[in-house]
Structure 1
Amino acid sequence: MSRNVIETVMGAVVLAVAAFFLVFAYSSVSVGRVEGYEVVARFASVGGLQTGSDVRISGVKVGTVVSQELDPATYLAEVRMSIDPSIELPTDTAAIIASESLLGGNYMSLSPGGAAEMIPPGGAIQFTQSTPGIAQLLGQVIYSLQGMGDGGGSSGGNDADSGGDDPVPGGMLNME
């Protein structure tokens, strides 16, 4: 009988410790939505970005992706973000969809510029860049390697018409 009481007490202690760690982890990790002012950015592709994804500057979470919609006039994806009110974004801020890891999801990375004017609440980020997916990058690498193997690669820049200035070294595609 006393063994059952000890097992019950130990089980309760384990559950209490587990609940404490869950509360501690939730309070120390910023997983909640950031409340602040909204800005919008337009992308050709949002591949993998989800509503609720982080918005980061230099790796620090400063906002949350609130919604994604297709603009029927331009066929661009409109991404609305809620930004911490203590963070002001210059008008030349760039928004880039970045990948957390090879297997992880995507997040919005903001690179503030140096403009003196700030984006007002409800304003738009003008400079955007979609990050290509891993499958697209692998396809481009394979395509460029096939081009080099069948004589389609660069000839080293010694042709008279090239002038020796190959803007894309090694035949790789420019991602800009």
Structure 2
Amino acid sequence: MSENTTEVIVGGAVLAIAIGFLVYAGQMTGLSAGGGQGYPLTASFRSLEGVTVGTDVRLAGVKIGTVTDIDLNPQTYRADTEIEVRKGVAIPDDSAIVIASEGLLGGNFVEIVPGGSLFYFEPGAEIEDTQGAVSLVSLLMKFVTGSEQSGGAAQ
């Protein structure tokens, strides 16, 4: 009887740890039971290199939302993007949205650079001040080839 009780206790502990791990993993990946707990904003980018649906949206390094939809606009040839921002996070209506990189080997994420306005974006509003992704390969090629040389005029 003692061995059977020990097995039940150990099995219960393993099950509790597994459930805890699943809850933790769900929170870290942004999956939650109450999806859609934010408000949508839109933006149009020249380049969304490295950004996909589900990419983090951050403000001051803190995740405040995710990219929910990406579509190519056939008239402007820009990437129309929809993001969802967590409720309770008010974004000033003169803020900018940029594609930032986590480093040389890291992925890209969407960063909101807050403005100083006293008015805030309404749900569904468009953030007009955008900056697309910067290609690291293009930057390295410019550096290596020296295509942006200074010294054209005599001083």
TM-score normalised by the shorter chain: which range applies? 0.7 to 0.9
1:116-174 deviations in Å (ceiling 9; x for gaps): 22111111001111231221221121121xx5xxxx9434x8824xxxxxxxxxxxxxx
Q: Are the structure 2 counterparts of residues 122 and 28 from structure 1 closer, same or farther at C-alpha, using a change threshold of 3 Å? A: closer
CA distance in 2, matches of 1:17, 1:48: 37
Shift, 1:14, TM fit: 8.7
Shift, 1:12, TM fit: 5.0
Residue in structure 2 matched with residue 26 of structure 1 by the alignment: 25
CA distance in 2, matches of 1:97, 1:49: 8
Superposition CA RMSD, Å: 3.1
Q: Are the structure 2 counterparts of residues 17 and 94 from structure 1 closer, same or farther at C-alpha, using a change threshold of 3 Å? A: same
| % same residue | 32
Return the TM-score normalized by structure 2.
0.79
Q: Are the structure 2 counterparts of residues 96 and 67 from structure 1 closer, same or farther at C-alpha, using a change threshold of 3 Å? A: same
CA distance in 2, matches of 1:140, 1:60: 32
Instruction: Identify, as 1 or 2, the structure richer in strand.
Output: 2
Shift, 1:100, TM fit: 2.0
Equivalent in 127, 136, 150 of residue 154 of structure 1: 150
Residue type at the aligned position of 2:132:
S
- Choose 1 or 2 for highest CA Rg: 1
Of 126-135 and 18-27, the range deviating more from structure 2: 18-27
1:55-75 deviations in Å (ceiling 9; x for gaps): 000011111100101111211
**Which structure is higher in RCO with an 8 Å CA cutoff and minimum separation 6?**
2
Unaligned 5+ runs, structure 1: 161-176
User: Is the 1:95–1:109 Cα contact (8 Å) retained in structure 2?
Assistant: yes
Unaligned 5+ runs, structure 2: none
